[in-house]
Structure 1
Amino acid sequence: MEPSIITIPIDREIKFKKVDLQILPQNGYLQSPIHTVCNLSNVKYYIRIYPNGYNDKTRGMAGIILQLFKGNAFNIDSDIMLCFESASFQKDLPKGNENGTTFGISKTSKFFDSKFFDNGKLIIKVKGTFKIILPLGIKYPFSAHWKIEESVLEALKSSNNGYLKSKRFNISSDSDIKYCIMIYPNGNKEENRGKAYVILQLQLGCETKIKADFNFSIDSALFSRLLTNVFEKSEGRGPFLCSTEDLFDPEKGYFVDGEMTLKVAGTLIIEKENIEPNVLSCKKGVASKAYQKHRGKEFTIFVGEKALKVRLFFS
């Protein structure tokens, strides 16, 4: 069976304020919001601007990074151009680059006095096409919000491997996959002591391999982390959140009025091998002679990016 291919045109304008870029330290950057290319594939990207380089090698050079996240795509063949119309500057990104790209814009000494800025703003246009190749498999989108009381979590900040766990969620009514969220304010093992982690705990049920693309976020603290993991057993995976000290620092914004709202959203992909597809040959909009063979079977119909599950019945 051939994988699905989705072609998505893109034409987006991203703006950064000049004054915000001017006050950044060495290696400092501004980052755009994370933009979704295609909800079905969960392919996303963001742009970062480094006015004075991102390491010693690039010091003195303003640069830009387009970071891509594959989501549940099998492959991405991008044909993208970044341009600054006010400076008549454009850059075609390498085709087929699945992780994004980095390139220099101008010397830092000239960057802020150049035509890159229009009325105090750096305006970047992202144009082109993404060709997204999706693997064969069953996809389950999921999302959850978890409200955590600061006093309850703070009681665990000095404990070793202490954690809080959310309630358990079912991924779907037609699956025995379950998940929950966990937070460790003082690390989940000795080498992580003094660091807070958030974890997606996945129970595979009868499945043996699941690919998970998921994003943890705390809006009040401007925290967002995208991850892709393959689960071959029931276990937990998740990102470093912040130091234990920063977690309970009121200025960091993790808690608002004594409460944190932790969000997780993503897609689980269960790849199925050696499965004969349900193929329905239709003429004039409705199948005729073949309907008895496929009666009662489930089909997925794609309308643009939207996947619709249907079951075929005839009276």
Structure 2
Amino acid sequence: MNSSFNEIVCPFEAEWKFHKADLLDLKNSEDGCLNGKCCYAYNIPGLKYFVAIYINGNAKGSCGQTWIAFHVNGSEDRKVTAEFTLSVESANHSKNLNYVYEKSIGHGTYFCKTEKFFNSKFFVNGELTIKVKGTLKTERPLISKICAPISMQWKVKEADLKSKKESSGCLYSKRINVASFSGVKYYLAIRPKFIIDENESRTQLCLHLSMEKKKKIEAVYDFSIDSANFNCGSQYVYDKSKGHGLRLYSTEDIFDPSKKYIVDGYLTINLNGILIAEKNQLFTSISENDIEPKFNLKILAAKSVIDAKDFKILIDENEIPVSS
């Protein structure tokens, strides 16, 4: 199926593997859910998707039932039509689904009773494999956009985390330049102890953008901590230099060895995502006011005073040599 002038079509095929031991930890929890890693549509900027398993259901009336859902970050501005087949070959389970995502949400199917789920042959070598194959369709945007992928692996020392826990302070990663976005850098910040109230504190993880000039940049991104089988995503529109992120697990969880966030003295955080900006705000035409008065080409040409063979134009502190 090919894209048309007014519509983008993205065929996809992906699979996610879940360990039985990780799912067992959620067996007795209310609304217990485990997310798979995020994938990104190759030709629809900022569109991400993943599979999630709800061990005891995800709504009233589904307690004791295991559901599998396919999540897509649709929105009112960009509705996404998904036609897909969700399958678990080891269980001989397959379901064809069709859904229009008008917000970031999951849509899926009842799999089996929770009790049967763990007493079955659905797991092969201790893993459950879920496959999804289909197409994602959305309207083509009217305004041209520029995209830039972002990624980082940040290893944070346990000793540094404990130090910031006592002071409720932040740790910061290195800054990375975005090659296709002039003057834009990104970096991560983690606050081990973000105080909610006197009885609760959580770990806060943020993606920061630094801009030399004001722009409007949308970030669609996800964090993962593989050792703890943790995956979580977000999206946000930055209009100035700032940070945005999530209040994740409790402060105590991060230092609990059984949770496996910290391994061999390090918390390893993975970032993946994409930055999106309108093309016209990154590449604009040069106006009379953008050029130094002494090199105003319009005035110089009108007065016929360009006598030198070589001269320079200064734009945004960058010199451009010009030869006659």
TM-score (norm 1): 0.69
Secondary structure of the corresponding residue to residue 159 of structure 2: helix
Distance in 2 (alpha carbons) for counterparts of 1:210 and 1:145: 22
Secondary structure of the corresponding residue to residue 194 of structure 1: strand
Deviation at 1:212, TM superposition (A): 0.7
In structure 2, relative to structure 1, the CA distance for the partners of 1:191 and 1:238 (3 Å cut) is farther
Q: Paired residue for 1:251, among 255, 258, 266?
A: 258
CA contact (8 A) 1:5 1:131 kept: yes
Distance in 1 (alpha carbons) for counterparts of 2:227 and 2:24: 25
> Which residue does 2:158 correspond to in 1?
150
> Which residue does 1:176 correspond to in 2?
183
In structure 2, relative to structure 1, the CA distance for the partners of 1:155 and 1:3 (3 Å cut) is farther
Secondary structure of the corresponding residue to residue 239 of structure 1: strand
> Which residue does 1:46 correspond to in 2?
50
Deviation at 1:197, TM superposition (A): 0.7
Q: Paired residue for 2:133, among 127, 138, 148?
A: 127
Distance in 2 (alpha carbons) for counterparts of 1:150 and 1:190: 24
> Which residue does 1:159 correspond to in 2?
167
- Computing the radius of gyration from Cα coordinates, the structure with the larger value is 2
> Which residue does 2:233 correspond to in 1?
226
CA contact (8 A) 2:35 2:231 kept: no
In structure 2, relative to structure 1, the CA distance for the partners of 1:5 and 1:192 (3 Å cut) is farther
Distance in 1 (alpha carbons) for counterparts of 2:277 and 2:211: 10
Letter in 2 for 1:182: A
Distance in 1 (alpha carbons) for counterparts of 2:102 and 2:148: 26
CA contact (8 A) 1:75 1:134 kept: no
Q: Paired residue for 2:28, among 13, 25, 29?
A: 25
> Which residue does 1:94 correspond to in 2?
99
In structure 2, relative to structure 1, the CA distance for the partners of 1:184 and 1:74 (3 Å cut) is same
Q: In the TM superposition, what are the counterparts of 1:1-315 in structure 2 within 5 Å?
A: 5-12=7-14, 24-26=27-29, 27-38=31-42, 41-70=45-74, 74-83=78-87, 90-95=95-100, 99-106=105-112, 117=122, 124-133=130-139, 135=141, 136-160=144-168, 162-172=169-179, 175-187=182-194, 194-272=201-279
CA contact (8 A) 2:14 2:131 kept: yes
Q: Over aligned residues, Cα RMSD in angstroms?
A: 3.9
Write out per-residue CA displacement over residues 155-197 of structure 1, whole angstroms, 9 at most, x where no aligned residue: 121223x111223222226501122211111117768962111
Percentage of matched positions with identical amino acids: 35
Distance in 2 (alpha carbons) for counterparts of 1:273 and 1:14: 38
Deviation at 1:218, TM superposition (A): 2.2
Distance in 2 (alpha carbons) for counterparts of 1:220 and 1:84: 25
CA contact (8 A) 1:210 1:270 kept: yes
